[in-house]
Amino acid sequence: YTVALLFLDLDRFKIINDTLGHNVGDKLLIEVSSRIKSVLRQSDMLARMGGDEFVVVLESAKNKSSAGFVCEKILEIVKQPVKIDNFKLNTSASIGVAMFPSDGDDMQTLIKNADTAMYYAKKQGKDTFEYYDEKLSEDVHDQLVIEQALKQAIQKNELYLNYQAQYDLNTKKTKSFEALVRWNNDKLGFVSPATFIPIAEDTGLIVPIGEFIFKKACEDFMKLKQIDTTLEYIAINISSIQFRSADFLNNIKTIIEEIGIKPSQIELELTERYIMDFGEDSIKLLNELKSLGFKMSIDDFGTGYSSMSYLSKLPVETIKIDKAFIDYIPKNNNNLQITKAIIALSKSLGYRTVAEGIEYPEQEDVLSDLGCDIGQGYFYARPQSFEDIKNSLIL
Ligand code: C2E
Ligand code: CA
Ligand code: CA
Give the pLDDT score at 142: 86
Q: Tell me the pLDDT band of 306, cut-offs 50, 70 and 90.
A: low
* Residues in CB range of 105: below 8 A, 6 or more apart: none
Q: How far apart are CA 390 and CA 142, in angstroms?
A: 36
DSSP result, 279-343: -HHHHHHHHHHHHHT-EEEEEEETSS---HHHHTTS---EEEE-HHHHTTTTTSHHHHHHHHHHH
For residue 356, the ligand 1 atom closest to its alpha carbon is 15
Span 123-154, pLDDT tens digits: 888 899 999 998 888 888 888 899 999 999 99
Task: Classify 168 as helix, strand or coil.
Answer: strand
Specify the residue with its C-alpha closest to ligand 1, atom 3.
Answer: 300
Residues with CB under 6 A from ligand 1: 164, 179-181, 192-194, 197, 210, 213, 237, 239, 299-300, 356-359, 377-378, 383
CA of 359 to the centre of ligand 3 (A): 14
CA of 321 to the centre of ligand 3 (A): 7
* Residues in CB range of 80: below 8 A, 6 or more apart: 35
CA of 231 to the centre of ligand 1 (A): 21
Q: Tell me the pLDDT band of 249, cut-offs 50, 70 and 90.
A: very high
Q: How far apart are CA 318 and CA 306, in angstroms?
A: 15
Nearest Cα to 321, choosing from 267, 243, 377? 377
Please tell me the number of the ligand nearest to residue 322's CA.
3
| Residue 245 near residue 207, CB atoms below 8 Å | yes
Nearest Cα to 291, choosing from 239, 246, 348, 253? 253
Nearest Cα to 374, choosing from 293, 271, 297? 297
CA of 235 to the centre of ligand 1 (A): 12
| Residue 304 near residue 314, CB atoms below 8 Å | no
Q: Is 84 left (phi over 0), alpha (psi -120 to 50) or beta?
A: beta
Span 346-355, pLDDT tens digits: 998 899 999 9
Q: Tell me the pLDDT band of 268, cut-offs 50, 70 and 90.
A: very high
Residue 310 has pLDDT above 90, yes or no: no
Residue 132 identity (one-letter amino acid): Y
Span 161-170, pLDDT tens digits: 999 999 999 9
Give the pLDDT score at 139: 82
The preferred substitution site among 150, 177, 180 for testing ligand 1, maximizing ligand atoms within 8 Å of CB, is 180
For residue 194, the ligand 1 atom closest to its alpha carbon is 30
Residue 40 has pLDDT above 70, yes or no: yes
Give the pLDDT score at 277: 67
Collect residues with CB below 5 Å from ion ligand 2: 237, 269, 299
Specify the residue with its C-alpha closest to ligand 1, atom 27.
Answer: 193
Q: Where are the beta strands (DSSP E) in 221-294?
A: 233-237, 266-271
